[in-house]
Amino acid sequence: MEYPDYFQLRRLLAIEGIGPVKIRNLLARFEAFEEIFEAPLQSLTQIEGINSSIAKKIVQSSDTLDEVNRVVDTDFKFLENSGTRVLYYLDEDFPQNLKNIYDPPLLLFVRGDISELVKPAIAMVGSRKPTQYGKLISAKIAREIAGLEIGIISGLARGIDTLAHTSALSADGKTYAVMGTGMDLIYPAENKKLAEQILEQGALITEYFPKTLPEPGNFPRRNRIISGLSRAVIVVETGLTGGAMITANLAADQGRDVYAVPGNLGSPQSEGTNQLIKIGSAKLYNTLDDVLSDIGIGKRDKENAKEQQKVLLSLNLFEQKIHSVLSSEPVSIDKIATVTGLSVSDCLVNLLTLEFKGIVRQLPGKMFITE
């Protein structure tokens, strides 16, 4: 997102009575933010949700420009220093599956790498105070998912969320934390170290502007992003009114597959999951194979992923260097040599070995991709 768009969005949100829904309605009529502020009152009042009072505030919003400028300058100092990207929901880089939910976020702040989110990912959520059983089963499920190179999405909260993230990291998997605060505030504070570790193998994501505090209302809205980014949601333990129940209901509304791990009768932490299964809002979680099948990853794919992981672990230093440069986008032999610091002939020898191992494919013109 360019600086002018960020500024104009901040300017709109500073107007009392305007929120994401009204802004999306305005953008559906006007192609650019500038057109909104240049529009006459009559045109603005024809937009759903924009009455004459709000329309006047839009027209008169130039009175707040100095204040908005100060806020945006402060924001961008933090964003630039922290390496935080801003994605507007109409940008090409904005996650496609999140664009299609009801009430998508207007923008996302992202630290880390979300390029792998084009693939199916699984969300794991649950109680902030899990039982020993909940801790063991959530860690087991998360390690299995991460071991198949499937991303794990959660909310950085205490309990199951933390276990999902840490277990994914321990299996060298991708994990993504969706926050209910601004990017400059890690909540809870004890997860600051975990957040830094997540940046090495995934990303931190939030829709909230810098300096946004952990207000209670932020987290239910945060949950729609957790489910929206995922292909399936696994609820491990939750009470009847827990935040994980909100995520499960949002996921169902968004057309995501929802799974609940059954728990002990009489355990408060299992009341929510057992209720979800009872009323049919979630499928009973039995094995990961069931989930993989539903999201289009069959058992053969699972076995292939395991086999590929073994192959990757067996690569020598030069093969690892070359493989780290490659992706699903074709890369020329000259670029591979430049990035790795190896000679073209050495690269070709190692690339041939990688082809034999089934993890690299050569395209015409000495271009290479990963399989």
Q: Looking at per-residue confidence, does 163 or 317 come out higher? A: 163
Residue from 55, 23, 22, 26 nearest 40 by CA: 55
* Domain architecture of the chain: domains with CATH: 3-79 (1.10.150), 98-294 (3.40.50.450), 315-370 (1.10.10.10)
Residue from 168, 160, 179 nearest 202 by CA: 168
Any bridge partners for residue 85, and if so which?
110
Q: How far is CA 300 from the centre of its chain?
A: 27
Query: 192 in the Ramachandran plot: left (φ > 0), alpha (ψ -120 to 50) or beta?
Result: alpha
CA 349/CA 104 separation, integer angstroms: 48
Q: Is 162 within 8 Å of 190 (Cβ atoms)? A: no
Residue 24: which pLDDT band, with cuts at 50, 70 and 90? confident
Q: Is 178 within 8 Å of 225 (Cβ atoms)? A: yes
| 2 pLDDT above the threshold of 50 | no
- Mean pLDDT confidence for 194-219: 96
Percent of the chain with pLDDT strictly greater than 90 = 61
Task: Give the model's pLDDT for residue 314.
Answer: 79
For the stretch 310-319, contacts whose Cβ atoms lie closer than 8 Å and that sit 24 or more positions apart, written own/partner, are: 311/357, 311/358, 311/359, 312/359, 315/354, 318/342, 318/346, 318/350, 319/350, 319/353, 319/354
CA 98/CA 313 separation, integer angstroms: 33
Reduce the DSSP state of residue 13 to 3 states and report it.
helix
Q: What is the pLDDT of residues 226-274, one digit of tens each?
A: 999 999 999 999 999 989 999 999 999 999 999 999 998 889 999 999 9
What's the mean per-residue pLDDT of the chain? 90
Q: Is 336 within 8 Å of 325 (Cβ atoms)? A: yes
Task: Give the model's pLDDT for residue 362.
Answer: 87
- Quote the pTM value: 0.77
Reduce the DSSP state of residue 341 to 3 states and report it.
coil
- Mean pLDDT confidence for 147-165: 96
Reduce the DSSP state of residue 110 to 3 states and report it.
strand
